[in-house]
Amino acid sequence: MIRLDKYLANLGLVSRRESAEACKSGAILVNGEVIKKSDFRLFGHEILRVYDQEIEVLEKVYAILYKSAGYISSDEDEFGYLSYKKQMLDCPYVNLLHVAGRLDTDTEGLLLLSNDGQFIHQTISPKREKEKEYEVWLKSPISPEECESLRQGVKLDDGYLTKPAKVEHIEEKKILLTITEGKYHQVKRMLQAVGNEVFYLKRLRIGAWTLDGLEKGEWKLINIDG
């Protein structure tokens, strides 16, 4: 349960002060009924209309974005780069969302997003060993021996030994790599450890969640219960 004015402010539609004025003017409807008090209580799944925008009230939101390279995984623009949220301006819940597993700025692919703190923690926790699958283009041909080293686990530049990975050799300079960890720049550092270098990187999957036909810059809401 949440107050109407707080929910509107969280969405970034109107401030709490503006919501009181909007209610007085009859601009806010819940399930077709004009709401005159901004402290009206929402319980979830109501149809909320604010001026000409209609939204389903969701307490917890889960989404997938196909992030394009060149966008950062931060909620705000930083260091001259645009936030991934700039690719979701048509999502009414965008201001609620946070990343569950970041991607490098120069990496494209699946970003899992939510406002559910427990879900985010469970997704990124190393203890959960949730699989993350990447399509990896390499600067040099990769040998069967290098693939086997990745499968066994490799020592990174800081001495950390990675857990065994799944590797599928697709083309001379392309592999599918599946890991269960999320160390800083891990995929790039793993390939450096076997004497190669990543040319381009795309995340295809986190756990059971995939891009599932999304194009770059597209997003969709998901149901984590199946």
For the annotated catalytic residues, the residue numbers are 104
Give CA–CA dist 48/32, Å, rounded: 8
Amino acid identity for residue 62 in this structure: Y
Residue 4: closest CA among 34, 31, 48, 40: 40
> How open is the CA angle 108-112-113, to the nearest 5 degrees?
120
